[in-house]
């Protein structure tokens, strides 16, 4: 790795990225990977950074501690990890990677839906632990996905990809609610959010976290779900309120849920959700595959190098800084 004497810009990574991406960066910059994502650590390391590639939540005041920062690149899509308004006020470009993990997240949704409906992993464990006939009878109450109704809250890239798979792959009816009346090439029937929760056999949360969506899916909407309906959250944890969801699962008022994201990450040991029935928990990995990590890593490296060259990154999310 080049040392500081080379006079190369310094790029700070909140977390490791794909080795090929690091190699690409190191041809033009010094690269430092934060040893942890504690806010004090990130503030300290940002002091000398020219660029910051973000895979973890940044402290709101990170820019106060990074006087030489020339650009922020989100290793992914969601911008809630980044102090966007503060960066814009300082004319610091922020870029992300739209579409870079869309397929991975959409495939996760399908895998979670299949797990909740068919429960193959549970059948496997039952076969091994209790024998053939006890496991075989458990399949009698499993539901098929084909012909059922899927509701998607948020019709961006991920929502659109899920809708394509649901209609073409499973023959599902798809309902959708979003900030704009999108139909995703006619695949989705736009409906009010209350209707979506009332009529769907499965609800997928795929909207961004905003002040309007924080806590949006609470007791009111969960209470509208069908008794055998399932909920899948691949967006952000704070959109779904954990307590009313746990209440519904424990009381058997909904059929199940799959959560990849949580209001507090990592999910604390002993949290009530761990004991809930019919709940699939994963550690924020819906968009994580070997394929997507390479795509995001190389994309983030290219965007950062463009920033360091003084160019406007192709996917800048605050373009107004260039016209101010």
Positions annotated as catalytic residues are 284
Looking at the structure, tell me whether residues 22 and 50 fall in a common domain.
yes
List the CATH number of the domain containing 54.
3.40.50.720
Looking at the structure, tell me whether residues 162 and 274 fall in a common domain.
yes
Kindly tell me the sign of the dihedral angle through the C-alpha atoms of 169, 171, 172, 174.
positive
Helix (H/G/I), strand (E/B), else coil: 167: helix
Ranges of residues in the chain whose predicted pLDDT is under 50: 1-5
- What per-residue confidence (pLDDT) applies to 163? 98
- What per-residue confidence (pLDDT) applies to 182? 81
- What per-residue confidence (pLDDT) applies to 5? 47
Angstrom distance (rounded) from CA 244 to CA 248: 6
What is the end-to-end Cα distance of the chain in Å, rounded? Answer: 37
Give the number of domains in the chain.
2
Looking at the structure, tell me whether residues 26 and 107 fall in a common domain.
no
Looking at the structure, tell me whether residues 96 and 108 fall in a common domain.
no
Cβ distance 306 to 315 under 8 Å? no
- What per-residue confidence (pLDDT) applies to 324? 65
Looking at the structure, tell me whether residues 108 and 255 fall in a common domain.
yes
pTM: 0.92
Looking at the structure, tell me whether residues 92 and 169 fall in a common domain.
no
- What per-residue confidence (pLDDT) applies to 184? 87
Task: Using the structure block, give the residue that is written with the tokens 């973890």.
Answer: 56
Looking at the structure, tell me whether residues 120 and 268 fall in a common domain.
yes
Angstrom distance (rounded) from CA 152 to CA 43: 38
Looking at the structure, tell me whether residues 297 and 264 fall in a common domain.
no
Looking at the structure, tell me whether residues 73 and 164 fall in a common domain.
no
Helix (H) or strand (E) run with residue 196 in it? helix 193-199
- What per-residue confidence (pLDDT) applies to 1? 38
**Average of per-residue pLDDT values in the chain:** 96
- Which stretches does DSSP call E strand in the chain? 10-13, 30-33, 51-54, 71-74, 94-95, 149-153, 173-177, 189-190, 202-205, 230-233, 256-259, 279-281
Task: Using the structure block, give the residue that is written with the tokens 């999910």.
Answer: 267
Looking at the structure, tell me whether residues 152 and 91 fall in a common domain.
no
- What per-residue confidence (pLDDT) applies to 39? 98
By residue range, what is the domain housing residue 52? 4-100+290-322
Looking at the structure, tell me whether residues 220 and 124 fall in a common domain.
yes
Cβ distance 270 to 282 under 8 Å? no
The number of beta carbons lying within 10 Å of the beta carbon of residue 312 is 12
Digit-coded pLDDT (tens) for 247-292 = 999 999 999 999 999 999 999 999 999 999 999 999 999 999 999 9
Cα angle, residue 131 at apex, residues 128 and 135 outer, rounded to 5°: 90
């Amino acid at each position: 790795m080049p040392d500081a004497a080379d006079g190369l810009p310094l790029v700070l990574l909140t977390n490791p990225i794909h080795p090929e991406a690091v190699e690409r960066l190191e041809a033009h910059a010094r690269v430092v990977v934060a040893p942890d994502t504690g806010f004090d650590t990130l503030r300290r390391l940002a002091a000398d950074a020219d660029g910051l590639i973000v895979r973890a939540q940044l402290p709101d005041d990170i820019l106060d501690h990074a006087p030489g920062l020339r650009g922020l690149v989100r290793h992914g899509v969601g911008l809630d990890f980044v102090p966007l308004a503060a960066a814009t006020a300082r004319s610091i470009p922020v870029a992300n990677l739209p579409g870079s993990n869309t397929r991975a997240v959409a495939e996760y949704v399908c895998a979670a839906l299949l797990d909740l409906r068919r429960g193959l992993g549970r059948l496997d464990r039952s076969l091994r632990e209790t024998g053939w006939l006890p496991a075989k009878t458990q399949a009698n109450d499993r539901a098929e996905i084909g012909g059922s109704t899927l509701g998607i809250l948020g019709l961006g890239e991920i929502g659109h990809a899920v809708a394509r798979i649901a209609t073409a792959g499973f023959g599902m009816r798809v309902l959708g609610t979003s900030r704009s009346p999108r139909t995703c090439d006619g695949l989705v029937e736009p409906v009010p959010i209350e209707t979506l929760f009332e009529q769907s056999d499965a609800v997928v949360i795929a909207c961004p976290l905003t002040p309007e969506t924080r806590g949006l899916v609470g007791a009111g909407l969960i209470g509208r779900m069908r008794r055998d309906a399932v909920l899948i959250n691949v967006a952000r944890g704070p959109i779904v309120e954990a307590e009313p969801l746990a209440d519904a699962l424990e009381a058997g008022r909904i059929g199940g849920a799959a959560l990849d994201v949580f209001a507090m990450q990592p999910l604390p040991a002993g949290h009530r959700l761990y004991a809930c029935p019919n709940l699939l928990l994963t550690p924020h990995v819906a968009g994580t595959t070997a394929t997507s990590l390479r795509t995001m890593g190389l994309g983030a490296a290219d965007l950062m190098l463009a920033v360091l060259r003084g160019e406007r990154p192709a996917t800048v999310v605050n373009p107004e800084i260039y016209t101010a």
